[in-house]
Homo-oligomer: A and B are copies of this chain.
Amino acid sequence: MPRDGTMTRTRIMDAAEALVLERGFAGTPIDEVLSQAGVTKGAFFHHFGSKQELAHALIARFVELDLGNLESKMGRAEKLHRDPLQQLLIFVGLFLEDAELLAEPSTGCLMASYVYEAGMFDDHVLAVVHDNVLIWRKRLLAKLEEAAAAHPPRVHVDLESLADMATVVFEGAFVVSKIVADPAVLAAQLEHFRNYIELVFSDPR
């Protein structure tokens, strides 16, 4: 085996992701990525055939981490309680824990960044984003249906869109958090989301 290039590749991707989240994909020239990562143009085009290929690598890595986070937290929630409603509340709570540690506004979500430049990417890249959101929907919907079976909702709610609400809260909170330059926005919104679920399914007294 020749020398290992994964270090260089990772440094390029780290620098690129940070820049894309701050300036957008089209607003991030390759040269800027290179100087941030401390590598040369030759190294870049050795690892990525084109800028578009970098875009794909970035979103693929982002989504993989995101799905890992989803599964990890859902798995922990499922082990921490037997009741599906409580599992959901714990699941949100685990994200809340993370959110409360933020010292400055999150750099945002690469998916949203891409969506607001959708015209720059081919369908291949956008499909990764699309699939990820549908996986979140499916995973949360299944859990919501379990919860609804055990705890009949006190008001009528559409469960599929309630599942989507998780993604909506994250994406919306990222945007607002950046606008008002306040890292606490995400935690506060997650708390409202948890409240809502609790109120919807709480047994009427």
Residues of A within 8 A of B (CB): 19, 21-27, 108, 111-113, 115-120, 129-130, 133-134, 137, 154-155, 157-158, 161-162, 164-165, 167-173, 175-176, 178-181, 185, 188-189, 191-192, 195-196, 198-200
Contact B188 A164 (CB under 8 A): yes
A155 to B176, CA, bound (A): 24
Q: List 14 A-B contacts (CB under 8 A).
A: A22-B119, A23-B119, A108-B115, A111-B175, A134-B180, A155-B198, A157-B195, A158-B188, A167-B176, A170-B172, A171-B171, A195-B196, A196-B199, A199-B200
A117 to B21, CA, bound (A): 7
A129 to B176, CA, bound (A): 10
A6 to B189, CA, bound (A): 42
The answer to whether residues A175 and B130 also contact, given A155-B199, A161-B185 and a CB cut-off of 8 A, is no
The answer to whether residues A162 and B192 also contact, given A171-B171, A172-B171 and a CB cut-off of 8 A, is yes
In the bound complex, residues from chain B placing their C-beta under 8 Å from that of A27 are 24-27, 117, 119-120
**Of B108, B117, B191, the contact of A23 (CB 8 Å cutoff):** B117
> Top 9 A-B pairs ranked by shortest CB distance?
A172-B172, A26-B27, A168-B172, A161-B188, A23-B119, A24-B117, A199-B199, A171-B175, A171-B172
Q: Taking CB as reference atom, which chain B residue is nearest A154?
A: B199
**Of B22, B116, B172, the contact of A169 (CB 8 Å cutoff):** B172
In the bound complex, residues from chain B placing their C-beta under 8 Å from that of A111 are 175, 179
CB distance from A116 to the nearest CB of B (A): 5
Contact B115 A179 (CB under 8 A): yes
A108 to B114, CA, bound (A): 13
CB distance from A131 to the nearest CB of B (A): 10
In the bound complex, residues from chain B placing their C-beta under 8 Å from that of A137 are 180
A113 to B180, CA, bound (A): 15
Q: Taking CB as reference atom, which chain B residue is nearest A20?
A: B116
